[in-house]
Amino acid sequence: MSNINQPFFFYSENFPKTLERIKATLVFSTYQAGKLIFISSLNGKTIIKYAKNLKRPMGIAVDKSKMKLAVASKTSIHVFASNKTIALSYPEKKSRYDQLFIPQVKYHTGYLDTHEIEFGTNNELYFINTMFSCISTVSADKHFEMYWKPDFITELLPEDRCHLNGMAMKNGKPAFVTMFDTTNISFGWKKTPKETGLLVEVETGKILLDQLAMPHSPVYFDDKIYFLLSGTGEIKCYDLKTEKVTFISKIDSFLRGMVVHDDFLIVGTSKLREETTAFKGLPFSAEDSYCGIYILNRTTGKPMGGISYTDNIREIFSLKLLFDVQVPGILVENDDYHDKSIMADLNLNFWIKQKKL
């Protein structure tokens, strides 16, 4: 990977080329660094990197049809919206951004250790409520509404009993989940071996796969489920028709966060935390593991480029693609102009001028 005069990250030539070719921005969260980061390219040769501070950001959801973005933080889920008129007329930097995501809704969830989140068919927001071992939906009058829980979880308590962590959508509904174990006691998964993970079908509760090493980030695509085994660094695929598992690739790092698009996979890798007992006994060390984002051929697993971080960013949680977005920006509540925009209709988009005192 080539140096770009930035001492803490490097990227391959094919990384900006791929983003420019598909006309998309890659957005990812790193709760360790407390940032939401956007990466794009206009020329296919260099990248545009844009970061925003958030408190422990994890799951990211994208509504392509309405240009909406949702991000789970430590105790909230934030929903942002954008349109080109608002973006291009942003008073601070006119014509700089082709989309500028502005705060619209903030759901206060309390500390649920929210993992993955996704928009549903009718604009619902589903999220993995890891602390209460269930899938939940957001609510205007509660911290969460339970949508589904595994059969073996007997009651809802803030005990992270099975480490429910990943959610794959199908036809706008949660269809498959990953978890670390079937324990029904407080943080029971921490006391069991690493190879007790499962891939479960939501509608039936059927266990599709078991004895998985710390599974994460399932994605449904083309009647298959792609998933990561963080405990071994493996990327695998489960064919729903044949019920066969295919090995795709292996990376000696803790894998988490994946996008499946056309003929490639985009996968996040994280360095191991030396001080955490949950990472003890894995087949790679903290010293050998590394943080980055890698593009792989979906069928062969052959590397097709990526970006590698050598400092500052050590862990990646969620990845998403924003299509038809090449120069994004985002405002949060402590930004000066976060509350000065008005988006009401196609022809009703304004920035309110501040009156001088």
131-154: average pLDDT: 97
Q: What is the mean pLDDT of the chain?
A: 93
- Output phi, psi for 12, to 5 deg: -80, 160
Global pTM?
Answer: 0.93
The pLDDT value given to residue 3: 44
- Contact (CB, 8 A) for 61 and 75: no
- Contact (CB, 8 A) for 248 and 235: yes
151-163: average pLDDT: 97
> 339 lies in a domain?
no
Name the more confident of 336 and 143.
143
> 176 lies in a domain?
yes
CATH number at residue 81: 2.120.10.30
Distance, CA of 96 to CA of 145 (rounded, Å): 40
> 327 lies in a domain?
yes
Angle subtended at Cα 307 by Cα 306 and Cα 308, rounded to the nearest 5 degrees: 125
- Contact (CB, 8 A) for 141 and 170: no
> 351 lies in a domain?
no
The number of folded domains in the chain is 1
197-210: average pLDDT: 97
Residue 288's pLDDT band (cuts 50, 70, 90): confident
In this predicted structure, the answer to whether residue 4 has a pLDDT above a threshold of 50 is no
> 51 lies in a domain?
yes
- Contact (CB, 8 A) for 317 and 302: no
The DSSP code sequence of 151-179 is TT--S--SS-SS---EEEEETTEEEEEEE
The residue range of the domain holding 206 is 2-332
Which two three-digit tokens encode residue 52?
């925003």
> 355 lies in a domain?
no
